[in-house]
Amino acid sequence: MQRRRKATLYELMRKGVGDPSPSRPSGAGFSLGSGAIEPRRPWKAWAILGVLVAVAVVVVGIVLLRDGASKDGGSGARPTPAPGTTVPPGPAANGAPASTPALSQAKPALPAAAGGDPRKAGLNYLVVMTGAATPAAELTAFLRSKGLDAWQVSGNNAGLSKVIVLPASTTGSDQAAEALKNEVKAVGRLWKAAKAGNPDLSDCYFEKSKG
């Protein structure tokens, strides 16, 4: 039986027998690399995070400034008109319709109408109201205070009165007649606002007088 030959020193060195593998420190503050031990640097992550937060704050600030500038520009004052020009009234706040000044507001108030009936047969007269004598008299006085030539005349039925506005119209549908109706409707809005229950006179109509 052949005895086992002991390994020579050269063979042991070649195989690396008996050489313990080198241990490398690990844990907090160190990282495993290609053999170099380098301490970790957590401040880098915090620096990057700080830069991102600063950029976000700047972007939000720019957006808010643009929104504020657009709102200020949309609600700015109306430009001052040049001398000698007329600027139409703008829309009222809260969605209310713009107040349209009646043509009669530029006219002086008329004195109380003389007694009698100014109607002539065959002509068309704008009837504003038919009702009791007292409210008819109040409406007549209001319309005359706004420059409209209003008259209180007798109605078709006994005890009732009519409020008419001159001038009369030959057709009741021409341009002058429509302008008078629009003027009465504009004053009617003022009449409705003057007292609760007052009509706005939007149902005024032309009626031919039979004399």
Whether residue 116 is found in the same domain as residue 197 = yes
* pLDDT for the residue 46: 77
Total domains present in the chain? 2
Whether residue 61 is found in the same domain as residue 116 = no
Q: Is 18 inside a domain boundary?
A: no
pTM of the predicted model, to two decimals? 0.51
Whether residue 45 is found in the same domain as residue 136 = no
Name the residue range of residue 64's domain.
Answer: 39-70
| Share above pLDDT 90 across residues of the chain, in percent, rounded to a whole number | 40
Token pair of 210 as six digits:
């039979």
Q: Is 125 inside a domain boundary?
A: yes
**Angle (deg, nearest 10), helices 175-194 and 133-145:** 110
Q: Is 59 inside a domain boundary?
A: yes
Number of neighbouring beta carbons within 10 Å of residue 192: 15
Instruction: With cut-offs at 50, 70 and 90, classify the pLDDT of residue 146.
Output: very high
Residues facing residue 129 across a β-bridge: 163
Token pair of 194 as six digits:
């003057």
Whether residue 66 is found in the same domain as residue 113 = no
* pLDDT for the residue 73: 58
Helix (H), strand (E) at residue 127: strand 124-131
Instruction: With cut-offs at 50, 70 and 90, classify the pLDDT of residue 89.
Output: very low
Helix (H), strand (E) at residue 130: strand 124-131
Give the Cα separation of 14 and 8 in Å (integer): 10
Per-residue pLDDT of 99-131, as tens digits, reads 444 444 467 888 888 778 999 999 999 999 999
Whether residue 55 is found in the same domain as residue 138 = no
